[in-house]
Amino acid sequence: MNRVSISAAWVLFVSLLATPSMAVEPDSPSVAGVQSEIYRIFLNTWISSDKTPVNVSRRAEPLSPDDIKVFDDCSDGKHKWVSIVSGQDLAGQLADLSYVRLVNPDTWKPKDPAELMAHGRSVDSAVGEGINNGLMTLSVVALDTTAKTAALRYAFVCGALCGSGGAVLFTLTPQGWAMDQRQCGGWIS
């Protein structure tokens, strides 16, 4: 290989490292383990202490450039993000959580509180049923290039005007992964 080829290969390699949306295959036990741990920490924090069952999309959503920008803004631009390959089935990572009902997002239908109230249900009853039948969707996990910070996007939807979501950061501590208290890119409807 001549000098020009080596230089070109080096430039290509460095540019790939600098690309924030670069993907990592989730096959290695360490990457799959990190993603699984991040999902579990998030769900254990998000779900109430009584572990009321929640519908979770069985498919992790891919990250968009906008998601990466939210992660950058949330972390003050201190990280370069690498996302785990999209479209993963979460059954292997979440099936043993007793409070998680894995749902096919293509066949899920909300029980919209507004529609239930239009048919005579009380506000409390309609909202309760809407939330109980809502769907939590998680993105694939993004890791920074040091593998010491992780991020994910989540959305919980229970109707046209019923839901919330945002982005969450996680930090690797000596005791394991910990969820950052900052939530970014949040929304409520």
Domain coordinates in residue numbering, the chain = 20-188
pLDDT tens, position by position, 62-82? 999 999 999 999 888 888 888
In the predicted model, is pLDDT for residue 174 greater than 90?
Answer: yes
In the predicted model, is pLDDT for residue 134 greater than 50?
Answer: yes
Q: What is the CA radius of gyration of the chain?
A: 19
Kindly report which listed range (75-79, 139-143, 173-177) carries the lowest average pLDDT score: 75-79
| DSSP H or E run through 155 | strand 149-159
Higher pLDDT, 143 or 28: 143
In the predicted model, is pLDDT for residue 105 greater than 90?
Answer: yes
In terms of average pLDDT, the best of 16-20, 44-48, 50-54, 170-174 is: 170-174
Is the pTM value of this prediction over 0.85? no
Burial of 137 (0-12, 13-18, 19+ CB in 10 A): buried
- Confidence band of 2 (pLDDT split at 50, 70, 90): very low
In the predicted model, is pLDDT for residue 138 greater than 90?
Answer: yes
Please measure the distance between the N-terminal and C-terminal CA atoms of the chain and give it in whole angstroms: 58
Please state, in angstroms and rounded to a whole number, the distance separating the CA atoms of residues 100 and 136.
10
pLDDT tens, position by position, 9-19? 323 323 333 33
Of 51, 189, 47, nearest to 113 by C-alpha is 189
In the predicted model, is pLDDT for residue 29 greater than 70?
Answer: no
